[in-house]
Amino acid sequence: MLKRALERFTLTDFLMWLVGTVIVSLVVVGSIATLRAGEYTSRHWFDFFIFGLAQGSIYALIALGYTLVYGILRMINFAHSEVFMSGAYIGYFVATSFNRSGFMDKSPYVALLIVMAVAMLTSVTVAVLVERIAYRPLRRAPRLVPLITAIGASFFLQEAFRTLFGSQSKAYPDVDVLKGTVSLGGDFAIQKIQILVILAAGLLMAALYYFVMKTRTGKAMRAVSEDKDTAALMGINVDSIIVRTFVLGAAAAGAGGVLYSLMFRQINAYMGFVPGIKAFTAAVLGGVGNIPGAMLGSLFLGIFESIGPILFLDGLGIAAPYQLKDVIAFSMLVLVLIFRPTGILGERLAKAKA
Amino acid sequence: MKKILSSSWFIPLQIGSIAGITGILMSLVGMVEEFAKRDIIAGIIEMGQTLVFINLLVAGYFAASRSQRAQAYLRVIEGGLAGAIATFFLWILVQLIPPLDLRSIFLNASPALIKVLTFDREGAAALGVMLTAGFLSGLAGGLIQSLPARYRTAVVRGLIWVAMLGLLQDLIRVTLLNFPGVGTALQWMFGSRNEKGLSVAGAIAVFVVVTGGSILQSNQATSLSARVGRLPAKQQQFIRWGGLLLAGAIVFYLPQVLGLYLSEVANQVGLFILMGLGLNIVVGFAGLLDLGYVAFFAIGAYVMGYLTTTAIGPESGQIIYGPQLNFWQALPIAVLISLVAGVILGVPVLNIRGDYLAIVTLGFGEIIRILAGSDFLKPYIGGSQGIVQVAPITIAGVDFNSPQKLYYLIILGILLATFVSWRLRDSRIGRAWKALREDEDVAQAMGIHLVSTKLMAFATGAAFAGMSGAIFASKIGSIYPHSFKLLVSINVLALIIVGGMGSLPGVFVGALILVGLPELLREFSEYRLLIYGVLLIIMMLTKPEGFIPETTHKRELHEEEPGTV
């Protein structure tokens, strides 16, 4: 009987729309209630926005790796969050040693650049090793298999870093030039570190986008992600292009790791998990396999996550709404996948079986 | 460069370097030092050196098997060389630790580690001893490789038995002491009470018995099962029933033999088997990759906790007002609610496939965990303080909460779940699931109703997890959100993959290996996940179909797939 009923009403569609409308109306009601209460001034909202923008830029740097690899191999590189973590970790050791030797105070910009370069290099090494050991032998295996090795690699890296360097969280050193805020007139001000994060991430993303769109290697990458076999027939060395893709994604993630650590200060071996999942969520939001999509999705998610809990939930009288920011992020992922499975900008993947 | 690559000495160099780096990693993560506390053969070989030794043995083995030389003795020597090269890497590490103050970065680069690695020698003596030991270990690996396959497996089996018995000796001793008359045998095998590990005589005896037995067994032309197969049908049936009865009797008496601690471990394994059976339906049968499976386990546990908690009201430190049912009243409700949750979470993801499904279900799992720990739901389910004083399991007024009694309840649950999965597997819905797993579009074209088929899979899987969670809540007596991390989902997924996707005996094997073994080897707990990760990768690279593969799945994995990934 249930079966017949299901067939007649297409209950699923109905339920999905029901879920959607309930959530949207909750969001609307909550926002109106919060705004009417007027507890938060425009300065608060501005701060939330800038924080979200900075966080979103970091997500974007991580998301690029996910989206590039997914575009080419059609696999979620679960170890990518550990690639991010490894960059932040090694960056920490370089930064503390610079800090101890006084180099960080003397020429902070050069020091930070070196820290970032080392972090990127570490991330690249880790990513290339993971690709070589855990993914390449499984190129033609069923899709679940590389997913499992990715999970295995992720566990291994987390635990290796934890046991190598100790379980306690470590604090990134204070950098004097990054302390304080820049006033924008009136009540509005931006923290210097946030400016750095947004600028650096924006610069890196632009460089990456240029690389993928304009250079020969980038063109080959796009060709491989379109169709591996045809690309190979056109004389492209598919394996080497795949490695370069990992390198590109890992470099962005390593830089993201340093920026993340400069912003949030604390690092530990499990720090990659949450930003990693968020970044993948963002990549899916934007349409996975699509570079501008990943950037847009990340910025969107970062801002949404920063403003959302207060805006939507505070007005509904929910206690401690900030605890639920991850719930908001994941709910958004679920909603986007339900109503627009190809993501905001994604179209290419609609045909290729997701 | 080309010349080096093609030179025949390149193979030992390459494999030796890989083994050397692996050895350095093992040392620096602290495994070697930590395991050094555990003896395998009392006073002679400890676990830390064994680890290094195994690494070298494997290096020797591979160097010998990869070697292109025709003469066997040269291949064995190449194995030895690989071992020596690997130890040279370790020697360099030892030289670097003090001058570079590596300990300020790598916490485990301690003097104790150096002591273990150098056999407590210094200077040139250390190098000499290390290289000799490395060469000999590699040689041993090469020798094992050069043996005929029959003897090779026998020797490897013997070594594994010695290592396992040595590691588990205190557990074995405690367990077997309950039996009359084995005391002297134990004394002989394990030495005196305060020694940890096998005695020398015991180790030799174990090795000889296992290796000899293994060789003898392989000498027999026909295997046992083939011989049973030739008997008349009546006798075959008799043997089968007899075997089943025997297995039943063993399972029934197990907790009496095992004692408290091991029964507790068995229960832990049992709960994971229960969850594994459920996830096996979702992932193994229907091919729906679910990474948020812990959500249903959590829902089962929380429903049980809420319904049965006996500490209500602020005066008991808790703000929850549950109806205070008993376990048996609450169990069906918990299972039912988990089942409904399976359907509810299943509906939105009906159109989502593959990796997207994995990430969405992962999101669901995290949502449930965060909600459980949030202040928002605190008045109902206790937030981060969880729910305490969950009612224990009682039958007719008798407390059932000791591990040895709970065991029977869990076995009952497993039997039920196994029966259900077994009957479902070849039923109409089971075949529909398999069709779905192979190709969703084709399945739909063949007239399979995707919505009900998928929802059935989610619901059944969720119900099993809910049952497991409910028992878990009563067993522990208090539940906290941090018991329901993503790790549990991954654990369950890994155990069905290691066991063999879609295979019922595989779930049992997987749970025993991935949940049971780490529980027994407590020293390993620090490195459990590290080993776990490596194990997953190695497993997928070498045996992606799992230990006990389902037949169709095995066929699929080993056929060449033309075209795309």
Q: What angle do CA B53, B57, B58 make, to 5 degrees?
A: 120
| Range in A122-131, B208-217, B396-405 with the lowest mean pLDDT | B396-405
- Domain membership flag for residue B241: no
| B20 in a structural domain | yes
Residues B215 and B293 in one domain: no
Within 10 angstroms of residue A348's Cβ, the number of other Cβ atoms is 16
B195 with B273, same domain? no
Number of domains in chain B: 2
Q: CA A56 to CA A275: how far, in whole Å?
A: 10
Cα A58 from Cα A66, distance rounded (Å): 13
- Within 10 A of A159 (CB to CB), how many other CB atoms are there? 23
**Alpha carbons B362 and B91: distance in angstroms, whole number:** 45
Chain B residues with beta carbon closer than 8 angstroms to that of A164:
28-29, 106-108
Map residue B399 onto helix, strand or coil: strand
**Which of B162, B184, B219 is where one domain is finished?**
B219
Q: Does A130 touch chain B (CB under 8 A)?
A: no
Closest among B367, B294, B296, B347 to A328, alpha carbons compared: B367
Can you tell me the distance from the alpha carbon of B294 to that of B161, in angstroms, rounded to the nearest whole number?
35
Say yes or no for a CB contact (<8 Å) between A152 and B533: yes
Q: For chain B, give the percent of residues with pLDDT over 70.
A: 85
pLDDT at A4: 64
Among the listed residues B254, B521, B256, the one whose alpha carbon sits nearest the alpha carbon of residue B414: B254
Contacts of B407 (CB under 8 A, 6+ apart): B254, B255, B263, B266, B267, B270
Nearest to A73 among B108, B347, B565 (CB): B565
CA distance B75 to chain A (A): 26
| Structure confidence at residue B541 (pLDDT) | 86
Distance CA A45, CA A43 (A): 5
Q: Do B367 and B465 have their domain in common?
A: yes
Q: Kindly identify which residue of chain A lies nearest to residue B528, measuring between CA atoms.
A: A159
Residues 372-411 of B with CB under 8 A from A: 373-376, 378
What residues of chain A lie within 8 A of the CB of B33, using their CB?
none
Whole-angstrom CA distances from A205 to A88, A281, A306 are: 18, 18, 22
Is residue B314's pLDDT more than 70? no
Q: Residue B197: which domain range? A: 7-219
DSSP string covering A295-348: HHHHHHHHHHHHHHIIIIIGGGT-SSGGGGHHHHHHHHHHHHHHH-TT-SS--H
Tell me: do B194 and B306 sit in the same domain.
no
Residue A350: the pLDDT is 42
Strand partners, A267: A170
Interface of A with B in 284-323 (CB under 8 A): 284, 318-321, 323
Angle A246-A251-A254 from CA coordinates, rounded to 5°: 120
Q: Select from B106, B374, B378, B384 the residue whose CB has the most chain A CBs within 10 Å, as the one to mutate to test that interface.
A: B374
Q: What is the pLDDT of residues B230-249, one digit of tens each?
A: 777 778 788 888 888 888 88
The answer to whether residues B87 and B20 touch, using CB atoms and an 8 Å cutoff, is yes
**Position B252 confidence tier, pLDDT thresholds 50, 70, 90:** confident
- Across the interface, whether the CB atoms of B373 and A133 are under 8 A apart is answered no
Q: Which chain B residues in 78-137 lie under 8 Å from chain A, judged by CB atoms? A: 105-108
Of B464, B485, B506, the position where a domain reaches its end is B485
Query: Considering only alpha carbons, which residue of chain B is nearest residue A146?
Result: B540
Per-residue pLDDT band for B315 (boundaries 50, 70, 90) equals low
Mean of all residue pLDDT scores within chain B? 79
How far is the first Cα of chain B from the last one, in angstroms, to the nearest whole number?
A: 34
Q: List chain A residues with pLDDT less than 70.
A: 1-12, 315, 317, 319-320, 346-354
Distance CA A313, CA A326 (A): 13
Q: What average pLDDT does the segment B495-502 reach?
A: 83
The two structure tokens encoding residue B65: 């098997």
Most confident segment among A216-220, B220-224, B527-531: A216-220
Nearest to A3 among B107, B449, B557 (CB): B449
Helices marked H in B101-199: 111-117, 123-146, 149-167, 169-176, 183-190
Residues B187 and B285 in one domain: no
Judge if B312 and B439 occupy the same domain. Answer: yes
Residue range A285-331, pLDDT digits in tens: 887 777 888 888 888 888 888 887 777 777 676 766 777 778 888 88
pLDDT tens profile B343-384: 888 887 777 776 778 878 888 888 888 888 777 777 677 777
Residue B551, class by beta-carbon neighbours within 10 Å (0-12 exposed, 13-18 middle, 19+ buried)?
Answer: exposed
Is A330's CB within 8 Å of B363's CB?
yes
- The pLDDT score that the predictor gives to residue B318 is 58
pLDDT of residue A250: 92
Is residue B463 in a domain? Answer: yes
CB contact under 8 A, A333 and B360: yes
CB distance B279 to B293 below 8 Å: yes
Q: Report the distance separating Cα A285 and Cα A324, nearest Å.
A: 19
Structural contact between residues B437 and B413, judged by C-beta atoms closer than 8 angstroms: no
Ramachandran region, residue B373 (left: φ > 0; alpha: ψ -120 to 50; beta: rest):
alpha
User: Residue B253 pLDDT more than 60?
Assistant: yes
The phi, psi pair for A267, rounded to 5°, reads -130, 145
Smallest Cβ–Cβ distance between B565 and the set A137, A139, A152 belongs to: A139
Q: Which residues pair with A325 in a beta bridge?
A: none
Residues B448-459: pLDDT tens digits?
A: 888 888 888 999
Q: How far from the centroid of its chain's Cα atoms is residue A273's Cα? A: 10
Q: Is the pLDDT of residue B121 over 50?
A: yes
Count how many residues are written for chain A.
354
User: Residue B235: inside a domain, yes or no?
Assistant: no
CA–CA separation, A197 and A53 (whole Å): 9
What pLDDT is recorded for position A347? 55
Residue B564 lies inside a defined structural domain of this protein:
no
How many other β-carbons are positioned within 10 Å of the β-carbon of residue B329? 13
Same domain as B279, residue B341 = yes
Q: Is A137 on the interface with B (CB under 8 A)?
A: yes
Is B556 domain-assigned?
A: no
State the first-to-last Cα distance of chain A, in angstroms, to the nearest integer.
32
Q: Which of B116-130, B313-327, B479-493 has the highest mean pLDDT?
A: B479-493
Of B449, B465, B485, the last residue of a domain is B485
d(C-alpha A248, C-alpha A131), whole Å: 13
Chain A residues with CB inside 8 Å of B449's CB? 3, 6-7
Give the type of residue at B228. V
Same structural domain, B186 and B274: no
Q: If contacts are CB pairs under 8 Å, which of residues 464-493 in chain B contact chain A? A: 486, 490, 493
Does residue B557 register a pLDDT over 80?
no
Q: What is the pTM of this model?
A: 0.84
Residues B201 and B315 in one domain: no
Residue B458 and residue B314 share a domain? yes
**Range 519-538 of B in CB contact (< 8 A) with A:** 526-527, 529-530, 532-537
- Residue identified by tokens 């690092």 is A267
How far apart, in whole angstroms, are the C-alpha atoms of residue B304 and residue B307? 5
Q: What is the pLDDT of residue B404?
A: 75
| Domain match, B275 and B372 both | yes
| B238 domain residue, yes or no | no
Examine residue B246 and state whether it is found in any structural domain, yes or no: no
Give yes or no for residue B1 having a pLDDT over 50: no
Instruction: Note whether B455 and B340 are same-domain residues.
Output: yes
Output the CA torsion sign for B78, B79, B83, B86.
positive
How far CA A73 is from CA of A141, A212, A242, B564, in Å, comes to 12, 16, 8, 10
- Does the beta-carbon distance from A277 to B108 stay under 8 Å? no
Average of per-residue pLDDT across B424-436 = 87
Q: Within chain B, what is the greatest distance between any pair of CA atoms?
A: 82
Q: Among candidates B33, B41, B21, which has minimal Cα distance to B115? A: B33
